[in-house]
Amino acid sequence: MKIKSADFIISNTDVAKCPAEFIPEYAFIGRSNVGKSSLINMLMERKDLAKISGTPGKTQLINHFKINESWFLVDLPGYGYAKVSKKMRAGFQKFIEDYFKQRQNLVCTFVLIDCRHDPQKIDLEFMQFLGENQLPFCIIFTKADKLGSSKINKQITSYKKKLLQYWESLPQSFLTSSSTSLGRKEVLDFIENINIDVADNFK
Ligand code: GTP
Ligand code: MG
């Protein structure tokens, strides 16, 4: 897919205030610092469309971007960092949970995992939460430039093995690097194909 336009629309913490326009939406989520905002900039070939920081917790809001005047891309706050009350499941902020439960035009969520990390409870719980709410998701293994290819293969294979303890089949996955743009075409083509598949539902 060619990116012709990428426009920031609105930030907020209230799903009711997210854009009303009914067009396909794709959310990017994962632990704080995993590289969500960097990936969005890489995909859009824009340096600072989404705000980036080396300090975890940079993205605090639900950020909507409209791409090619036809679909929304959403940068979300990371989980596993913000101070939240204990009763809140797995440390997800309530407004993130509301976003996923209420956003009717959400067609696919990308769960980002740092390719250097072994499976972590909070990520597995988040995927569980998506599954329980019948929300389709993919996995994006990020920061591929930080490991050699044999180490990456080993990590990803063992990650998938762990997932198969919880899921009958594996979700689609991608390997990306925001430094080298690895995986850009694959992720954008995937989105383009879904946009075609769901077009009838958005008429
Ligand atoms: P929060 O908004 O705090 O949840 O973080 P985030 O997931 O949006 O991460 P962000 O994109 O802000 O990146 C966090 C740090 O990781 C920054 O210092 C980035 O430069 C670095 N980073 C992100 N992606 C990559 C990558 O693919 N390769 C390398 N080497 N560094 C990366
Ligand atoms: Mg961010």
CB of residue 130 inside a 6 A radius of ligand 1: no
Query: From residue 35, how far is each of 82, 96, 146, 156, 164 by CA, in Å?
Result: 16, 18, 12, 17, 25
Locate the DSSP E strands across 13-70: 25-30, 62-67
Per DSSP bridges, beta strands 6-12 and 62-67 are antiparallel
What amino acid occupies position 17? K
Q: What residues flank ion ligand 2 with Cβ within 5 A? A: 36-37, 58-59
CB of residue 19 inside a 6 A radius of ligand 1: no
What is the predicted pLDDT for the residue at 98? 94
**The dihedral sign for the CA sequence 59, 73, 41, 138:** positive
Per-residue model confidence as pLDDT tens digits over 152-195: 999 999 999 999 999 999 999 999 999 999 999 999 999 999 99
The terminus-to-terminus CA distance of the chain in angstroms comes to 21
Q: Which domains does the chain have, with CATH numbers?
A: 6-198 (3.40.50.300)
Q: Distance, CA 198 to ligand 1 centroid (Å)? A: 31
Per-residue model confidence as pLDDT tens digits over 1-49: 999 999 999 999 899 999 999 999 999 999 989 999 999 999 999 999 9
